[in-house]
Amino acid sequence: MADGLSKQWGQSVVVENRPGAGGNIGSEYVARANPDGYTLVLGVTGSHGINTSLYKNMRYDPRTDFEPLTQATLYPNAIVVNADVPVNNLQELVELLKKDSSKYAYGSDGNGTASHLGMELIKSEGKFDLPHVPYRGSAPMVTDLLGGQIQVGITGLPAVQAYAKSGKLKIIAVTTAERFSSAPDYLTVAEQGFPGYAAPPWSGFFAPKGTPAPIVEKISADMRTAMADPVLKEKIVAAGSVFTPSTPDEFRAFVDAEITKWAEAVKISGASVD
């Protein structure tokens, strides 16, 4: 995106990583920046959807401290099981767990992540038990899943797709509203007894609150032009994601709905971060 925007604007677009606190550190920095269009943030599900309900001491409000520009991407989390688990789809897993869940646990990318909370929504609606084991990212979780220390996992599709193709794991559902374009054989959660379910991680661009409307509109339009570039679209698909460009108004409505949805998931899970 930075390269595509640099070409349109005739000036450098610098990517500066400010990690930490689930995206809160970088987001707070931009929330306090001058609203001149020169400092933007790539917000994600955590920083602009989940964290306002998860963190007790948030120092910015994703609804009121930013001007939404455009959604950028989304990708599916995959619900996956060890090859020895005797199920081939989500409905079979639910039936198995309702009979006896004492031998099973699921791993996620971490406490309060979209993978954790997405599974908690399914557990709540499906009315079954499945203990949660939080990990620090997908790699250690997948290692334990392959080794049989846990039997079920939920994480980004790219992290498990190769193992599914080799038969070491079984992907039983993806969390997008519709089947993922680059992996259409995987059933969605919604198709398997959970109508309306959609909980894919996403990203999108924001400017500080008070950025003039003409600047917001121009940056948004230029970002959408960049996302239409076939070469860039190919790179995003190769990384396991898809572009989902939107207008500022569309993105604002999307973020508002996401905050409401994830607040319910946080409440159900009981997750909290000081």
**Structure-token match 């109508």, residue found:** 195
- Asked, for residue 126, whether it belongs to a domain, the answer is yes
The reported pLDDT for the residue numbered 272 is: 86
Residue type at 109 in one-letter notation: D
Residues 90 and 63 in one domain: no
Residues 253 and 165 in one domain: no
Averaged over 246-260, what is the pLDDT? 98
Residues 34 and 95 in one domain: no
Edge to edge, the sheet with strand 152-156 lists 132-134, 106-108, 152-156, 77-82, 169-174
- Asked, for residue 162, whether it belongs to a domain, the answer is yes
Residues 28 and 64 in one domain: yes
**In Å, how far are 10, 186, 220, 230, 250 from 224, measured between CA atoms?**
17, 28, 6, 12, 13
pLDDT band, very low/low/confident/very high, at 273 (cuts 50, 70, 90): confident
Residues 102 and 29 in one domain: no
Give the domain-ending residue among 173, 192, 211.
192
- Asked, for residue 274, whether it belongs to a domain, the answer is no
Averaged over 186-213, what is the pLDDT? 97
Quick check: 274 pLDDT over 80? no
Tens-place pLDDT, residues 193-204: 999 999 999 999
Give the domain-ending residue among 143, 169, 192.
192
Write out the residue range of the structural domain in which residue 244 sits: 2-75+201-269
CATH number of the CATH domain containing 130: 3.40.190.10
Residues 56 and 99 in one domain: no
Supply the mean pLDDT for the chain.
96
Residues 113 and 159 in one domain: yes
Residues 64 and 93 in one domain: no
The reported pLDDT for the residue numbered 85 is: 97
Tens-place pLDDT, residues 131-181: 999 999 999 999 999 999 999 999 999 999 999 999 999 999 999 999 998
CATH number of the CATH domain containing 61: 3.40.190.150
Share of the chain above pLDDT 90, in %: 95
The reported pLDDT for the residue numbered 92 is: 98
The reported pLDDT for the residue numbered 112 is: 95
Beta-carbon contacts of residue 195 (< 8 Å; ≥ 6 apart): none
Cα gap 112→262, rounded to integer Å: 10
Tens-place pLDDT, residues 43-75: 999 999 999 999 988 999 999 999 999 999 999
Residues 37 and 105 in one domain: no
Residues 109 and 185 in one domain: yes
What is the pTM assigned to this prediction?
0.94
Quick check: 182 pLDDT over 90? no
The reported pLDDT for the residue numbered 1 is: 93
How many domains are contained in the chain?
2
- The angle subtended at Cα 177 by Cα 141 and Cα 222, nearest 5°, is 95
- Asked, for residue 224, whether it belongs to a domain, the answer is yes
Share of the chain above pLDDT 70, in %: 100
Residues 135 and 225 in one domain: no
The reported pLDDT for the residue numbered 129 is: 96
Give the domain-ending residue among 172, 192, 212.
192
Residues 50 and 89 in one domain: no
Quick check: 10 pLDDT over 80? yes
